[in-house]
Chain A
C-alpha cells in the first residue's frame, strides 16, 4: 500500500516539478534571473552631508587621541630597536647558514643511524609503506599526540572568543541574532552556478579526502591532509547551500562528540602502545601484510581519528569566524 500524499506535499516533490517542466508549464528561469535593470543609486545632498559627517566623526574617534612626546619617543625607539634586532637576526642566521653542512649531500650529520633505521626497518617495524606516516604515528607518536592537542586547544580558545550566547550580549559587542542577521547577507539565494558546481564537486572532494585519509599508510597523505580536504569540502557545501542544510547533519553537538570520540580514542590507543612499549609487553595489535589496506596496526585507525578531528576543526573555525555558532 503506498502512502498517500497531500496536495501540498506533492507540490513540493520532485515529480511535480519534473512533470510541469515536461509539459512546458513552468519556465525554469522565471524569478531566478533578474531581467529588469535597476535604477542607479543617486545620493541626495542631505545624505551626502550626513555621510561626510559620519566619516569625520569616525575619523576623529579613531585618530583624535593626542600622542604625547613620551609615546612618540617610545614608538621611535621601538621601531629602531626592532629594525636593528631584525637586521642582526638576519645576519646571524646567514652566518650560521654559511657554516651549515651543504644541502643535498648524503654524508651530513642528519643522515645518520636514525633515518637509516626508519627507512630500512620501517616497513617491518611499523607496517607502513609511507615511511613518514610510520615515523610520526609510531616511532615519534608522542609529538603527534601533542600536535593534535594543539589543534584541540586552538579550537577551545576560538570557541571562548567567538561563540555567541543565544540569549544575551555577553560583552562580545554583538548578539547571536545580530550575527545571524549580518550573516544573512552572505547566505546564498539560489545561486545556480555555485550550487551546480558544489553539487558536482562536493562528493568528489569528500571521496578524495577519504582516499587520502585511508591511504595514509600506503602513499602520500594521512589524517592531517585528508582532514583538511574534507573540511574544505564541508565549507564549500555550506557556502553553496547555506546553514539550513548543514545544520541537519553538523551542529555544535556533532562537533563536540566527534572530536571528543576521536581524541579520546587517540589518547587511549597511544597510551596502550606507550605503556606496552615501556614495560616491554607484547603488543597484541596485528601489523598485517604491508601494502594491504588493513595493515600497519594502529596507524590506519589513528589516521582516521586525526582526520575526523582536523575536518571538524576546520569546519568549526570557518563557522565560528563567520557567525559565531554552528
Chain B
C-alpha cells in the first residue's frame, strides 16, 4: 500500500465508482441498468482525469490579461482528454439505447437472459 491514498481521495472515489459501474455492466440483467452502469464507469474516468489535471491554487487554462506563465494555469491536457471521453460515451450510449429499443420492440422485455431464451425458442 502506498502513502498517497488519503491525499488522492478524489482518485480513490473514481476507482470505487469505476468498479461499481463495471459491476453494474456485468451483473445487471436489465439492459437500461447496464447502460447506466456504463455511464457511471465513464463518469468515473472523467473524475479521475479532472483530478489529474488539477493543481492547487491555479486557474483554468484560459489566458487572462496576457499572463502566460506555466505556473499560473492548471494542466490543459486532461481537460481535452475528458472532452474526447464524453463524446465517445455519448455515442456508445446512443448505440446501446437504440439496440435496446429494437430488442424491446421485438421481445417486450428488457431482461437480456429472457431475450436469449426467447431467441433460442424461436429456433433460428
**A residues at B contact (CB < 8 Å):** 58, 62-63, 65, 67, 75, 79, 82-83, 85-87, 89-90, 93-106, 110-111, 114-116, 118-120, 122-123, 129-132, 135-136, 140, 143-144, 147-148, 150-151, 153-155, 157-158, 161-162, 172-174, 219-220, 224, 290, 317, 320-321
Taking A96-B15, A110-B52, A143-B80 as known contacts, 8 extra A-B pairs with beta carbons closer than 8 A to each other, sorted by chain A number, are A83-B23, A93-B18, A93-B19, A97-B4, A100-B8, A106-B71, A143-B84, A154-B92
Closest residue of B by beta carbon distance from A159: B98
Q: 11 A-B pairs, CB-CB below 8 angstroms?
A: A63-B114, A94-B15, A97-B14, A98-B5, A99-B4, A115-B75, A119-B76, A135-B80, A147-B87, A173-B102, A320-B98
B109 within 8 A of A: yes
Please tell me which one of the listed residues A62, A104, A162, A219 contacts residue B56 in the complex, with CB atoms under 8 A apart: A104
Residues A103 and B8 in contact, CB atoms below 8 Å apart: yes
Contact A65 B121 (CB under 8 A): yes
Residue on B nearest A152 in the bound complex, by CB: B91
Known: A65-B118, A83-B23. A102 touches B105 (CB 8 A): no
Proximity string of chain B (95-120) to chain A, C-beta cutoff 8 Å, 1 when within and 0 when not: 10111011001101100011001100
Residues of A within 8 A of B8 (CB): 97-98, 100, 102-103
Contact of A82 among B23, B105, B108 (CB under 8 A): B23
**Which A residues are in CB contact (< 8 Å) with B18?**
89-90, 93
Smallest beta-carbon distance A98→chain B, Å: 4
Number of B residues with CB within 8 Å of any CB on chain A: 66
User: Cα distance A143–B79 when bound, in Å?
Assistant: 13
**Cα-based distance from A148 to B84 in the complex (angstroms):** 9
A153 to B87, CA, bound (A): 12
* CB <8 Å contact, A224 and B87: yes
Q: Find chain B residues with CB under 8 A from A144 CB.
A: 84
- A111 / chain B contacts, CB cutoff of 8 Å: 55, 70, 75
Name B19's contact: one of A67, A90, A98, A99 (CB within 8 Å): A90
Partner of B12, one of A83, A97, A118: A97
* Interface pair A89/B22, CB less than 8 Å apart: yes
A79 contact from B27, B58, B84, B102, Cβ within 8 A: B27
Question: What residues of A have a CB within 8 angstroms of the CB of B77 in the complex?
Answer: 110, 114-115, 118, 135
Flag if A220 contacts B84 (CB, 8 Å).
no
Known contacts A154-B95, A158-B94, A224-B83; A173 and B106 CB within 8 A of each other: yes
Interface residues, chain B, with chain A CB atoms under 8 Å away: 1-5, 7-8, 10-12, 14-16, 18-19, 22-23, 26-27, 51-56, 58, 60-63, 68-73, 75-80, 83-84, 86-88, 90-92, 94-95, 97-99, 101-102, 105-106, 108-109, 113-114, 117-118, 121
Residues of A contacting B121 in the complex (Cβ-Cβ under 8 angstroms): 65
How far is the CB of B56 from the nearest CB of chain A, in Å? 4
| Contact flag A102-B4 (CB < 8 Å), given A111-B55, A118-B77, A119-B68 | yes
Asked whether B105 lies within 8 Å of A172 as measured between CB atoms, the reply is: yes
Known A65-B118, A93-B19, A135-B77: A129·B62 in contact at CB below 8 Å: yes
How far is B102's CA from A161's CA once the two chains are assembled, in angstroms? Answer: 7
The answer to whether B10 touches A99, judged by C-beta atoms less than 8 angstroms apart, is: no
Q: Are B2 and A99 in contact (CB under 8 A)?
A: yes
Residue contact B87 to A103, C-beta cutoff 8 Å: no
Q: CA A101 – CA B3 in complex, angstroms? A: 10
